[in-house]
Structure 1
Amino acid sequence: MNKKLKPAECTTILVGKKASLDGSTMIARSEDGGSEIIPESFVVVNPEQQPESYQAVISGQKIDSVDLLANPLRYSSVPDTSGKHGTWAAAGINDATVAMTATETITTNARIQALDPLLEEGGLGEEDFVTLTLPYISSAREGVKRLGYLLEKYGTYEMNGSAFADQDEVWYIESIGGHHWAARRIPDDAYVVAPNRLNIDEFHFDDPDNYMCSADLLNLIEKYHLNPDTDGYNLRHIFGSATVKDAHYNNPRAWFVHKYFDDEWQGNPGDQEQPFITYAKKKISVEDIKFLEGSHYQETEFDPYSTTNTAAQKKLFRPIGINRNFETHILQIRNDVADGLAGVQWLGYGTNTYNVFVPFYTNVTTTPASFMTSPSLDLSQIFWLNKVVAQIADTNPRLYGALHQVYEEKTTAALRRIEWQTDAEVADLVGQDLQAKLAQANQAMADLTMTKTQALLEEMLKAGHTKMTLKYDLLD
Structure 2
Amino acid sequence: MRKFIWAAGALGLAAAFTATPVKACTTVVDGKKATTDGSTLVARNEDVGAWSKHFYVHQATSNGPTTYVSEDNGFKTSLPKTALRYTSMPDGEQVNGQWIFGENGVIFSDKNEIWYMEIGSGHTWAAVRVPDNKYAVIPNQMVIGKLNLKDSKNYMASTNLVKKVKAWSQNKKIKLAGYVKSTVNYSKAFGTNDKTDAIYNRPRMWDGQRILTPSKKQSITKKSYTLFLKPEKKVSPAKVGQVLSSHFTGTKYSSYGKWKGGYRPINVPTDVESHILQIRNNVPKEYAAIQWLAMARRLTASACLSTPTSVTRQARTRLIPSPPTGLTKPRPW
Please report the TM-score for the alignment, with normalisation by the length of structure 2: 0.81
Residue 169 (structure 1) aligned with residue 113 (structure 2) = yes
Contact 1:329 1:345 in 2 (8 A): yes
Letter in 2 for 1:387: S
Letter in 2 for 1:254: M
Residue 181 (structure 1) aligned with residue 125 (structure 2) = yes
Residue 298 (structure 1) aligned with residue 249 (structure 2) = yes
Residue 73 (structure 1) aligned with residue 84 (structure 2) = yes
Secondary structure of 2:115's partner? strand
Residue 258 (structure 1) aligned with residue 193 (structure 2) = no
How far is 1:51 from its partner? Answer: 6.0
RMSD: 2.8
Which has the higher mean CA deviation after the structures are superposed, 218-227 or 283-292?
A: 218-227
Secondary structure of 1:387's partner? coil
Q: 1:31 to 1:187 in 2, by over 3 A?
A: same
Q: 1:274 to 1:37 in 2, by over 3 A?
A: same
Greater relative contact order (Cα < 8 A, sep 6+): 2
Of 51, 61, 70, which residue of structure 1 is paired with 2:75?
61
Q: 1:323 to 1:45 in 2, by over 3 A?
A: farther
* 1:12 aligned partner: 27
* 1:217 aligned partner: 161
Identity of aligned residues (%): 30
Contact 2:26 2:45 in 1 (8 A): yes
How far is 1:172 from its partner? Answer: 0.7
Of 131, 135, 141, which residue of structure 2 is paired with 1:191?
135
How far is 1:54 from its partner? Answer: 2.2
Q: 1:53 to 1:166 in 2, by over 3 A?
A: same
Q: 1:370 to 1:72 in 2, by over 3 A?
A: closer
The CA distance in 1 between the partners of 2:144 and 2:315, in whole Å, is 34
Contact 2:144 2:186 in 1 (8 A): yes
* 1:335 aligned partner: 281
* 1:21 aligned partner: 36
The CA distance in 1 between the partners of 2:306 and 2:280, in whole Å, is 13
Contact 1:347 1:357 in 2 (8 A): no
The CA distance in 2 between the partners of 1:248 and 1:371, in whole Å, is 42
Q: 1:339 to 1:61 in 2, by over 3 A?
A: closer
Contact 1:346 1:360 in 2 (8 A): no
The CA distance in 2 between the partners of 1:50 and 1:359, in whole Å, is 35
* 2:5 aligned partner: none
Q: Which has the larger radius of gyration?
A: 1
The CA distance in 1 between the partners of 2:315 and 2:267, in whole Å, is 21
Q: 1:370 to 1:203 in 2, by over 3 A?
A: farther
Contact 1:246 1:272 in 2 (8 A): no
Where does structure 2 lack aligned partners over 5 or more consecutive residues?
A: 1-17, 170-175
* 1:30 aligned partner: 45
Contact 2:130 2:228 in 1 (8 A): yes
How far is 1:360 from its partner? Answer: 8.4
The CA distance in 2 between the partners of 1:318 and 1:371, in whole Å, is 37
Letter in 2 for 1:69: P
Query: Which of the pair is proportionally richer in strand?
Result: 2
Residue 347 (structure 1) aligned with residue 293 (structure 2) = yes
The CA distance in 2 between the partners of 1:368 and 1:339, in whole Å, is 23
Q: 1:51 to 1:250 in 2, by over 3 A?
A: farther
Of 271, 276, 289, which residue of structure 1 is paired with 2:240?
289
How far is 1:290 from its partner? Answer: 0.5
How far is 1:351 from its partner? Answer: 1.3
Q: 1:299 to 1:178 in 2, by over 3 A?
A: same
How far is 1:258 from its partner? Answer: 0.7
